[in-house]
Structure 1
Amino acid sequence: MKSIMSCFFCFLIWMQVSIANEHIKIITEYFPPYSIYIDGQLEGISTEIVKTVLNDLKLNGLRISVYPWVRAYNIALTEKNTLIFPLGRNKRREKLFKWVGVISPAQFYLFSLHNRDDILISSLNEAKQYTLGTVMNDVREQYLIDKGFKIGSEISTSLNHDQNLFKLLKGRIDLWPMNELAAYYLVKKRKLLPKYTIKKVFHLADLSTEGYYMAFNKDTDNNTVSKFKESLNKIKREGIYKNIINSYLIDE
């Protein structure tokens, strides 16, 4: 029995060391409220979830690097052992990554300015008569392109979400495809009241899934991915995940 137990604990230690020896790179973008700086520290819904998983796996020493989205996405596509978050999941991306699990909620809408009573949309196709603001290579941009929207005519692309809010406020775009939590956060960050500034005009129901994910580059070892999955599921079972999410919820 002692021999069996010794082998078991040696196996657990080996599993832990094998993850540590993979030189995992963790990357995100600045995307309030999922990845934000608070008093100089990287925090946010997704960041706290990832940090909790790292703590559970005894990988606290791993650094989370922040890049513009286009660079972060390209690194995750090309470099083995790269973990990226928060990442929207769609058919185009399905085989490009090894998916760990959902780390934050996401319901997507087309937002307009609150005073744009002229914008009435009953189908996504009707939105093609307006200009929509997206972030380059973002899941919303990919989704709209797949639905027949064209960059340069119906789509005006930017480097980040805050730029698109600026465009919306200045009338340079008509519609802002965004998840509601991030939309309200960015509006409030500008000292504006969301309910008097923006409004939902169309629910992107088939884009709205369980939420944002964390995922590894497709060449990452399956053992590493499995250990992260196990840890994420553990903090969900223990209620830690839900507590973190609830602490960031923002009213309109």
Structure 2
Amino acid sequence: MNNRKAQYNFCILFSLFFGSAFFCSATPVNDIHQIQVVTEPLPPYQIVKDGEVRGVVAEKVRKLLRELGSDSQIRAMPWARAYKTALTEPGTLIFSMVRTPAREELFHWLGVLVSTKTYLVTLKRRDNIKLEKLEELINYKAGIKRDDVVFHYLSKKKALGKTALLPDTITTVKMLLRDRVDIIAVSPLHLDYMCSKIGCKSSDFQFLLELDGLSNDFYLAANKQMTPELVNLITDKLKGLTN
């Protein structure tokens, strides 16, 4: 922070000597080049193939980085690690993040990348599973992604009983298909994509309840220590991609 202040003061003095044609940027170029971007494998939004993060949302973020003039690479990792990295390491961007009251003050929220819905889902052949209200989930074994927004939401609602905490969404689907869990949380788009990969069909499942208490928007968010100038720059560039 002291170095940045010194650079800014130097710019002001330089401008006084050489005239107003000299432009001092409030956002040092170094800030842009020090950005790191983290995410998780979340098909079809983020797909890791041959070591590269692809998918519709990843491509949007990559285009944003080009607009910023940043050569930062997108790194995919388990969600809990990505979340901790974005929470603790300055200069970090993270996607796709659901915005919740518990997270509101922990990050800068730069803009919506995509919208979706999340449902509690079971197998259609499991006709013994009935779920008319959220509180009844406690009677079943749920497969939930560790540190996911669904986990925090259901925990706060005290709706989790016996729970399998799993590393990613595709593992929850596999566990459901093997009858290792009774219910999972997933969006229809995710489910269709994962079935195309592991050989199931969307008709194999039944949607029990929509988790309408969760945000339907997936955000690009930033570490809280990111400078206001860089936050504003990224926010403006992202708006330009969506307008």
Q: For this structure pair, what is the TM-score category when the shorter chain's length is used for normalisation?
A: 0.7 to 0.9
- What is the alpha-carbon distance in structure 2 between the residues aligned to residue 16 and residue 229 of structure 1? 16
* Alignment CA distance shift 1:39-1:71 (3 Å): closer
Instruction: Identify unmatched segments of 5+ residues in structure 1.
Output: 238-252
Structure of larger gyration radius:
2
TM superposition score normalised by structure 1: 0.83
Q: Does 1:198 pair with 2:205?
A: yes
Partners of 1:105 and 1:58 lie apart in 2 by 27
TM-score w.r.t. length of structure 2: 0.86
User: Which structure 1 residue ranges, 4+ long, deviate > 3 Å from structure 2?
Assistant: 13-16, 38-41
Task: Note if contact 1:45-1:104 (Cα within 8 Å) is conserved in structure 2.
Answer: no
Supply the RMSD in Å over aligned alpha carbons. 1.9
CA contact under 8 A between 1:30 and 1:36: conserved in structure 2? yes
Other structure's SS at 2:130 match:
coil
Q: Is residue 186 from structure 1 mapped to residue 233 from structure 2 by the alignment?
A: no
* Contact 2:143/2:181 (8 A) holds in 1: yes
| Deviation by residue 1:26-54 (Cα, 9 ceiling, x = unmatched) | 11111111110346532112201111111
Query: 1: CA distance between counterparts of 2:30 and 2:52?
Result: 29
User: In structure 2, what is the Cα distance between the partners aligned to 1:84 and 1:165?
Assistant: 24
1:95 counterpart SS class: coil
Map of 1:20 onto structure 2: 32
Deviations 1:68-95 (A, max 9, x none): 1111111111111111111111111111
Secondary structure at 2:200 match in 1: coil
1:107 and 1:71 map into 2 onto residues whose CA distance is: 24
Once the 2 structures are TM-superposed, how far is the Cα of residue 118 of structure 1 from its aligned partner? Answer: 2.4
1:242 — aligned with what? none
Shift in CA distance, 45/63, structure 1 to aligned 2, threshold 3 Å: same
Q: Which residue of 2 aligns with 1:217?
A: 223
| 1:44 maps onto 2:55 in alignment | yes
Equivalence for 1:138: 148
Identity %: 30
Number of residue pairs aligned between Structure 1 and Structure 2: 225
Tell which deviates more after alignment, 77-86 or 110-119: 110-119
Contact 1:103 1:211 in 2 (8 A): yes
Q: 1:120 to 1:30 in 2, by over 3 A?
A: same
> Aligned partners of 2:179, 2:125: CA distance in 1, in Å?
11
Which secondary structure state, in structure 2, belongs to the residue aligned with residue 26 of structure 1? strand
Counterpart in the other structure of 1:235: 241
Flag the 1:64–1:216 CA change in 2: closer, same or farther, 3 A: same
In structure 2, stretches of 5+ residues that fail to align are 1-18
Superposition map of 1:55-204 within 5 A: 55-59=66-70, 61-150=71-160, 153-195=161-203, 197-204=204-211
